């Protein structure tokens, strides 16, 4: 691929990403080790200007060099870059009833010192079949002891009917209640639950037991505040809370 590209980055400062323990799932399922690809040894011996960019203690540093930094044939050590095609993820889901925990969609995890508590999880919601009966299928209303950053790569997320565009993101911090918007809730509450194929979508979630803070750039772009930024309306969705307007209490005590 040539030209400009955009994406999401998750950076951790402790431990490393690894495949999650499969437990009762067994040997096959979720992301398989065989599908991760590593580069072959190669080099580029060219004497031309390059810029070396290095991140150190949260700051970026640039150094000008007069040759290609890829003038090596291989590397030696325990680290190597890899890539993984998310379309190869083997989705595990319910075939009876109820809504399984999103951990069944975990691609990679960074374990913490506490057993069962992740420092960070990378979770995806790819195309898949939904066949569970007697079940509210979209993500239900909940709050977590984890912080959730959601992003949409393509298509429409099954928990939001509008307002959540590809390239965007949402952050629900620890113990912040959230769930589907009113339109999604109404449709899912009345639809006949036959087998349904969720297609043409790919959403992901960065989940962490730590608190996350939105940067000033993330809130206001290049401007210092929303008042001086023409981009503020798309950088920060100020009326996000309105997706939950329209809900009425229907609990009858039974």
- Residues belonging to the active site: 99, 142, 148, 172, 178
Residues in the chain: 254
What's the CA gap between 68 and 114, in Å, rounded? 43
76 CB burial (10 A radius; 0-12, 13-18, 19+): exposed
Q: DSSP secondary structure string, the chain?
A: --S---------SSS--BPPP-GGG-SSSBS-GGG-B-PPP------S-EEEEEEETTEEEEEEESS-TT--S---SS----B--GGG-B----SSBS---GGGGEEEEEE-SSTT-EEEEEEEE-SEEE--BSS--SPPSB--SSEEEEEEEES--TT-SSS--TT-EEEE-TT--B---HHHHHHHHHS----EEE-S-EEEEEEESS-----HHHHHTTSSSGGG-TTHHHHS-TTGGGGGTT--------
């Amino acid at each position: 691929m040539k030209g400009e590209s955009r994406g999401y980055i998750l950076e951790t400062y402790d431990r490393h990403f690894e495949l999650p323990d499969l437990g009762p799932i067994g040997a096959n399922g979720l992301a398989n080790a065989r599908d991760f690809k590593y580069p072959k040894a190669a080099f580029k011996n060219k004497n031309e200007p390059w810029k070396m960019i290095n991140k150190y203690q949260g700051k970026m540093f640039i150094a000008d060099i007069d040759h290609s930094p890829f003038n090596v044939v291989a590397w030696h050590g325990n680290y190597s870059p890899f890539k993984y095609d998310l379309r190869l993820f083997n989705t595990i889901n319910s075939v009876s009833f109820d809504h399984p925990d999103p951990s069944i969609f975990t691609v990679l995890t960074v374990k913490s010192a506490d057993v069962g508590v992740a420092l960070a999880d990378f979770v995806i919601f790819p195309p898949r079949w939904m066949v569970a009966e007697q079940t509210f299928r979209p993500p239900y209303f909940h709050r977590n002891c984890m912080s959730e950053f959601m992003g949409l790569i393509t298509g429409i997320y099954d928990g939001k009917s509008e307002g959540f565009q590809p390239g965007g993101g949402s952050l629900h911090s620890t113990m912040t209640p959230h769930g589907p918007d009113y339109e999604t809730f109404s449709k899912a509450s009345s639809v006949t639950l036959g087998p349904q194929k969720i297609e043409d979508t790919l959403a992901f979630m960065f989940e962490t037991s730590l608190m996350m803070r939105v940067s000033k750039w993330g809130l206001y772009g290049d401007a210092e505040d929303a008042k001086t930024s023409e981009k503020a309306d798309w950088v920060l969705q100020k009326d996000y809370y309105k997706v939950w307007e329209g809900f009425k209490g229907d609990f009858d005590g039974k």
